[in-house]
Amino acid sequence: MSDLAVRTTGLTKRYGQQVAVDGVDLAVPAGAVYGFLGPNGSGKTTTIRVLLGLARPSGGEVELLGSPMPASWRDVLPRVGALVEGPAFYPWLSGPANLARLDAADRDADPRTRRARVGAALERVGLARAGRKRVKAYSLGMKQRLGIAGALLRPRDLLVLDEPTNGLDPQGTREVRTLVRSLAADGTTLVVSSHLLAEIEQVCSHVGVMSGGRLVAQGTLAGLAEESERELVLLTPDPDEARRVLQARGLGTTAGAGAAYDRAATLVAALPRDGAPAVEDVVASLVTAGVRVRGVHVRAQTLEERFVELTGEGFEVRG
């Protein structure tokens, strides 16, 4: 199998004159948990629908699990599970009954092992004890987990989850987060679309950021953090001399917070993204010049700040 579970080249989707997805080149490594980020209307769900064959691309190429799509859909899609735009079930039936009907719709599923597979899927998502409870009595978190159970009725190499924690309370969010981690530990590749940055930071190894139908950033979560802006924050009772030293090192102070405590001042200087000069060398220069250093630390952009820098907007801005 290819080292990429998902690959797109120039993926484009138009609806009339509107371009919903514009030349997207996705690269999702096999075994990764890939956070697919973007504000509402950025093209995330449309991209996912094209990947799964629910919408036909207007241009570009798509590969899933090393095979071209949609030409190889018959062989590939049974190895792919998905939860897109929220689960839908018969509310008057129990969870097991709903999954049994879902499984019966799969012409490749063996009916002789249906009961065992339904039970295993419910056990995996923590719903085995829900028993005969009808889905209409499920909480939103239980419904989300039941939807994921439906995607796990058969072994999957790739699982695509579109906003899996949308609308969940903190407990439901933790449950889904734990499930994602356990699936990743078993070697399943996951693509998790979300606008909740805190969730992405806790479970994902790789990220892609969409804005206006374009993929504006992609890579490892650590790599995205390394590309973020950093600031040197210095606490000193000798701000004037400290400014001169910092300027001599090419670090003009961008802010002076004034008296912080005990007649010390806080100075903030932007650090170059290439990492030079080293923070340790800057501190050594300050000390050599006689500047009293009461405290120093490096402050990096949060993922949310990096997102706003990339897209020019926050989450949930557009409908």
DSSP β-bridge partners for residue 207: 35, 219
- Residue 46's pLDDT is 93
Instruction: Give the other-Cβ count within 10 Å of 30's Cβ.
Output: 17
Plot region of 252 (φ>0 → left; ψ -120 to 50 → alpha; else → beta) = beta
- Residue 2's pLDDT is 61
Residue 274: DSSP 8-state: T
Q: Where are the alpha helices (DSSP H) in the chain?
A: 44-51, 73-76, 95-104, 114-124, 140-151, 170-185, 197-203, 221-226, 239-248, 279-288, 303-311
- Residue 261's pLDDT is 45
**In this structure, what is the dihedral angle of CA atoms 244, 245, 251, 253, given to the nearest 10 degrees?**
-50
- Residue 279's pLDDT is 83
Q: What is the pLDDT along the chain (319 residues), one digit of tens a residue?
A: 469 999 999 999 999 999 999 999 999 999 999 999 888 888 998 999 999 988 999 999 999 999 999 889 889 999 999 988 777 899 999 999 999 999 999 888 889 999 999 999 999 888 888 878 999 999 888 888 899 899 999 889 999 998 888 767 787 788 788 888 888 888 899 999 887 777 788 889 999 999 889 999 899 988 877 777 778 888 898 888 888 898 888 887 655 544 444 567 888 888 777 666 788 888 999 999 999 998 888 877 777 777 777 777 654 433 3
Closest to 145 in 3D by CA, of 102, 117, 174: 174
List of domains in the chain: 4-226 (3.40.50.300), 230-300 (3.30.70.260)
Instruction: Give the other-Cβ count within 10 Å of 91's Cβ.
Output: 12
